[in-house]
Structure 1
């Protein structure tokens, strides 16, 4: 394994994150437009990309682990920072740039996903409010045959007093 192979893996991760950012931005617009069919298709595409991201991250981890084993380092949780110890100055700069770019993409994706979640929650609150306004509540009903408070007389008494 070489640092070039690791760099290529990180570049793939960056590319997948860029695609996910594009989808998240499109998702925001679809939520605003209330276009559920298109949103459903987009979520399926997003799910495929998330799976691809997970697979690529596993490959990156294995590639870094193999590289470090070849260098005589054996670690369980390997990172790009571990690789930098064995890289040239030029390779370190490239890895640093990629790492910074990947972090920036992750933060941007997280922000977009939080916005989308808030939009969906707001939409659900609106739907619930609309349903509450359309459906009558038990306390709003004006007639209740089992309600004893509205009866003018006690139970067992009549209007006619026979003893008088």
Structure 2
């Protein structure tokens, strides 16, 4: 297995993550506009992207494991690009590091956008709950306590239990 295969896989992973980032930007716009039908379709597109990324990541792990085997090195349980950087020649190491850094940058951007979308979703949920609380009538207590029947109420400062007794 050559480094060119691993580089191709890393480039494809970066493209998929950049595409998912564009979907995350679209999701932000949909959340702001409140377009639930568009959001539903976008979530389906996201699921397809995530499945492709998962499949591509399995290919990356396989390619890294094969490269390490070809170099006569031990293969860890979850092989990463960092595992092959020591085994790769200097010329290939630089291109692998650049591809890895581009992918990590895309993942970092995606994480930031997803955090924003999560906050927007939470705020929307808070607004919906607040609106429902304002519309929905408040339930009054249908039972009476012993003191309310007798016509007295405990104030918040009075205790009903005497700890000195």
Q: Please state which band the TM-score falls in when normalised by the shorter chain.
A: 0.7 to 0.9
Distance 1:147 1:82, change over 3 A: closer
Match of 1:116 in 2: 117
Deviation at 1:81, TM superposition (A): 1.9
Deviations 1:95-149 (A, max 9, x none): 111111111111111111111011011000000000000111123x9xx7x6695
Give the corresponding residue for 1:57: 57
> Which stretch of the first structure deviates more once superposed, 82-91 or 5-14?
82-91
How many matched pairs? 148
Q: Secondary structure at the match of 1:138?
A: coil
3-state SS, counterpart of residue 136 of structure 1: coil
The residue aligned with 1:95 is: 96
Q: Deviations over 1:7-65 (max 9, x none)?
A: 11111110100001000000000000000000110110000000100010001000110
Taking structure 2 as the reference length, the TM-score comes to 0.83
Q: CA deviation at 1:79?
A: 1.5
- Structure 2: stretches of 5+ with no match in the other structure: 152-165
Matched, 1:134 2:135: yes
Equivalent residue, structure 2, for 1:3: 3
Q: Which residue of 1 aligns with 2:157?
A: none
Equivalent in the alignment of 2:106: 105
1:85 aligns with 2:98: no
Task: Show structure 1 runs of 4+ deviating over 6 A.
Answer: none
- SS of match in other structure, 2:137: coil
- Backbone CA RMSD of aligned residues: 1.9
SS of structure 2 residue aligned to 1:11: helix
Moved more, 61-70 or 89-98: 89-98
In the alignment, structure 1 segments of 5+ residues that lack a partner are 153-164
